[in-house]
């Protein structure tokens, strides 16, 4: 008798059904699909890759990870909400398909070949989840376990990357004669570094080269690594490791996922595993394993997902909030938090001089830094990946809202002395950074709505006009645009208070002004 395959069933129904299209209706295979598995199902190769990705997600949720938390919430229409406890926290029962970040984010990392850090206490499945991702890429559990790099305080660069061959070391006349025995994990498409915050600082630098530039170097020899998804784990990412993680290495990590605690209500599921002696990672169904070509194709398809201009505009508006630090500079361009940070001046002292604005309302006052280009690129690619995973062809604002906290988790640093955190209702945002980041995005969107920027955004109109090109623009038209820009600057600064989004608008207007000015110079020279 065959086994019941308790852990090997994958979803045969569409995992995220959309309104049907007529071409789908006439599949006679439906007649013979049902509760009895006859082995004559529809060929799996016909599935779109986003469906395969969802099947992988649901297999993990239903079989591999006990007690998933649905913290990425989507709603279609109003959700059922409850106010719970003395702290009056909201419990939401989402009205649409919602997801568990602990599974979804690694899966999106896998599909986009980015870098994901699992944080959380020991025994919460961080390493097991990372191994699962390797299994999805077609490696065996044994291969993944052997290839996993375990951080420890004595880890050397040779431990990490490879050794020069001893015989060559003795006989070589030059560096080129020394052959290197590269570690096998460097060639893998899924790389796991367990407890990366226990790696000594010098070895971290070697790891940074592999993570950041995708090559390894030992004794002047270079090993080019293939594009791969990275999974790192840390018991405590807030400085509790053996070694402080160098900032550049932290910055290379694209998303951070927190392993949430086990809900004892699911103890029965653990009992089945104990009694059946089953390890889910050893029972991944072959239907959800991705070939290298499939991961390449999924990556291409993800990059092809559209970010509509209205979503992009809101993201621009959000990102504009944080870099301005009026008191840090004299010249307009240098009034940034980066200027203050580079000067090494005491932050609180500079911040104290920053007055006049509503520091509660100004979102920029809540952070110690702004967003880097890398952060924004990561945010875009993961928003696209989430939209792709949900079976959409364009990013929705909700996708950005859901993914944003995991991308900016340790990138946007809170300024805990800010008036926002002093309010009793906001005190918990000091510890719950994910919720704080999502709240920041919500507040930014509220301000965007208040300013009615969806309908009236003159700077955007000017940018669109400029993007059509200057070819054929007459001197008169260019002068009219310059006058319009100057008039707009005068109008925008009438309020006297400078906020982050206004600062970026003024810099954009300056840029446009400069381009038209240069064009006029060129026109006159003809």
Partner 1 sequence: MALSLALARALAEGRSQFNTRVVEAKRRYPSLDTAAFGAFLQIAVDPLINSVASVAPERTAAVTAIAYDIALDLVGQGFAGAGTRSLLLDRAWRVVTPQYARLIADRPLEVLGNLTNALIHVEKMQPRRAGEWLQRMHDLAPHAQSVGHLRALGQIAAWRSGLAHFREGAIRVAAELPAPAALAAIGAPAEMQWATVHDQLLANPWWQPGGDGASPITLGAFSGFGGAFKAPPELRALGANFVVKSGEHYNLLVADGCGAILLPASIEDFRLGTASQAPTMHGTALIIGTRRIEIDLPAAGLAVALSTHTIAVTSPYTFAVQLYPQL
Which residues contribute to the site for partner 1 (CB under 8 A)?
1-4, 6, 19-22, 25-26, 28, 30-40, 272, 276
Residue among 19 and 286 whose Cβ is closer to partner 1: 19
Question: Rounded CA gap, 203 and 397, in Å?
Answer: 40
CB of residue 74 to partner 1, shortest distance in Å? 20
CB of residue 32 to partner 1, shortest distance in Å? 5
- Residue 455 CB burial class (10 angstroms; 0-12, 13-18, ≥19): exposed
Question: Rounded CA gap, 271 and 393, in Å?
Answer: 41
CB of residue 267 to partner 1, shortest distance in Å? 14
DSSP-derived 3-state class of residue 248? helix
Residue among 266 and 334 whose Cβ is closer to partner 1: 266
Question: Rounded CA gap, 430 and 426, in Å?
Answer: 8
Residue among 4 and 82 whose Cβ is closer to partner 1: 4
Residue among 38 and 525 whose Cβ is closer to partner 1: 38
Residue among 272 and 377 whose Cβ is closer to partner 1: 272
- Quote the crossing angle between the two packed helices 101-112 and 49-59, to the nearest 10°: 140
Residue among 22 and 90 whose Cβ is closer to partner 1: 22
CB of 404 closer than 8 Å to CB of 378: no
- Mapping DSSP onto H, E and C, the string for 55-73 reads HHHHHHHHHHCCCCCCCEC
Residue among 273 and 341 whose Cβ is closer to partner 1: 273
Residue among 24 and 479 whose Cβ is closer to partner 1: 24
CB of residue 39 to partner 1, shortest distance in Å? 7
Q: Which two tokens stand for residue 525?
A: 């020279």
Backbone phi, psi, residue 324, to 5°: -65, 135
Sign for the CA dihedral angle at 227, 109, 285, 143 comes to positive
CB of 402 closer than 8 Å to CB of 386: yes
| Helices and strands (H, E) in the chain, number of each type | 20, 11
Residue among 272 and 423 whose Cβ is closer to partner 1: 272
Taking alpha carbons only, the member of 352, 293, 10, 351 closest to residue 138 is 293
CB of residue 286 to partner 1, shortest distance in Å? 20
Question: Rounded CA gap, 69 and 448, in Å?
Answer: 31
Angle CA 305–311–316, to nearest 5: 115
Q: Where are the alpha helices (DSSP H) in 222-372?
A: 247-252, 267-276, 292-303, 309-320, 337-343, 347-353
Residue among 12 and 313 whose Cβ is closer to partner 1: 12
CB of residue 313 to partner 1, shortest distance in Å? 27
CB of residue 266 to partner 1, shortest distance in Å? 13
Question: Rounded CA gap, 449 and 503, in Å?
Answer: 18
* Strand duo 215-218 + 89-93: pairing: unpaired
Residue among 32 and 332 whose Cβ is closer to partner 1: 32
CB of residue 273 to partner 1, shortest distance in Å? 11
CB of residue 94 to partner 1, shortest distance in Å? 21
Residue among 25 and 467 whose Cβ is closer to partner 1: 25
Sign for the CA dihedral angle at 244, 246, 249, 250 comes to positive
Residue among 273 and 312 whose Cβ is closer to partner 1: 273
First to last CA, the chain: 88
**Tokens 């064009």, located at residue:** 519
- Residue 133 CB burial class (10 angstroms; 0-12, 13-18, ≥19): buried
Cα atoms in the Cβ-side hemisphere of radius 13 Å centred on 179 = 5
CA 286 vs. chain centroid, Å, equals 28
Sign for the CA dihedral angle at 195, 199, 204, 210 comes to negative
CB of residue 149 to partner 1, shortest distance in Å? 37
The number of beta carbons lying within 10 Å of the beta carbon of residue 320 is 23
CB of residue 1 to partner 1, shortest distance in Å? 5
CB of residue 461 to partner 1, shortest distance in Å? 32
CB of residue 67 to partner 1, shortest distance in Å? 17
């Amino acid at each position: 008798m065959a086994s019941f395959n308790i852990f090997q069933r994958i979803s045969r129904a569409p995992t995220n059904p959309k309104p049907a299209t007529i071409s789908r209706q006439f599949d006679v295979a439906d007649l013979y699909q049902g509760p009895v598995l006859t082995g004559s199902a529809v060929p799996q190769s016909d599935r779109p890759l986003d469906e395969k990705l969802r099947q992988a997600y649901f297999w993990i949720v239903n079989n591999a990870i006990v007690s998933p938390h649905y913290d990425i919430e989507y709603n279609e229409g109003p959700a059922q909400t409850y106010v719970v406890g003395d702290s009056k926290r909201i419990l939401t029962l989402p009205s649409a398909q919602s997801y568990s970040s602990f599974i979804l984010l690694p899966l999106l990392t896998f599909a986009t070949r980015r870098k994901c850090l699992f944080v959380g206490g020991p025994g919460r499945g961080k390493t097991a989840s990372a191994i699962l991702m390797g299994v999805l890429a077609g490696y065996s559990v044994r291969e993944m376990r052997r290839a996993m790099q375990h951080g420890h305080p004595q880890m050397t660069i040779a431990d990490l990357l490879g050794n020069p061959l001893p015989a060559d070391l003795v006989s070589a006349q030059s560096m080129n004669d020394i052959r290197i025995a590269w570690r096998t994990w460097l060639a893998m498409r899924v790389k796991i570094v367990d407890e990366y915050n226990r790696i000594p600082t010098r070895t971290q630098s070697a790891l940074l080269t592999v993570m950041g530039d995708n090559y390894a170097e030992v004794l002047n020899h270079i090993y080019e690594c293939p594009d791969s998804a990275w999974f790192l784990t840390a018991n405590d990412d807030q400085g509790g490791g053996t070694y402080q993680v160098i900032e550049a290495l932290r910055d290379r990590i694209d998303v951070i996922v927190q392993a949430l605690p086990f809900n004892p209500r699911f103890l029965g599921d653990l009992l089945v595993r104990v009694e059946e002696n089953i390890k889910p990672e050893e029972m991944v169904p072959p239907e959800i394993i991705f070939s290298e070509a499939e991961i390449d194709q999924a990556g291409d398809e993800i990059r092809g997902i559209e970010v509509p201009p209205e979503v992009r505009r809101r993201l621009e508006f959000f990102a504009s909030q944080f870099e301005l630090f009026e008191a840090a500079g004299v010249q307009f361009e240098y009034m940034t938090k980066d200027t203050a940070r580079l000067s090494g001046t005491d932050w609180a002292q500079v911040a104290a001089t920053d007055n006049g604005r509503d520091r509660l309302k100004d979102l920029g006052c809540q952070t110690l830094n702004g967003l880097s280009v890398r952060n924004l690129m990561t945010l875009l690619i993961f928003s696209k990946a989430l939209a792709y995973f949900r079976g959409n062809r364009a990013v929705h604002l909700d996708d950005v809202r859901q993914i944003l906290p995991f991308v900016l988790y340790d990138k946007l640093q809170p300024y805990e002395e800010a008036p926002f955190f002093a309010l009793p209702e906001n005190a918990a945002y000091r510890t719950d950074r994910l919720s704080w980041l999502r709240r920041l995005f919500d507040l930014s969107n509220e301000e965007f709505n208040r300013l009615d920027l969806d309908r009236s955004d003159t700077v955007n109109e000017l940018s669109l006009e400029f993007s059509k090109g200057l070819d054929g623009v007459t001197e008169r038209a260019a002068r009219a645009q310059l006058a319009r820009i100057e008039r707009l600057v005068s109008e925008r600064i009438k309020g006297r208070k400078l906020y982050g989004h206004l600062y970026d608008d003024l810099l954009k207007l300056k840029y446009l002004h400069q381009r038209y000015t240069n064009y006029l110079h060129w026109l006159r020279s003809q």
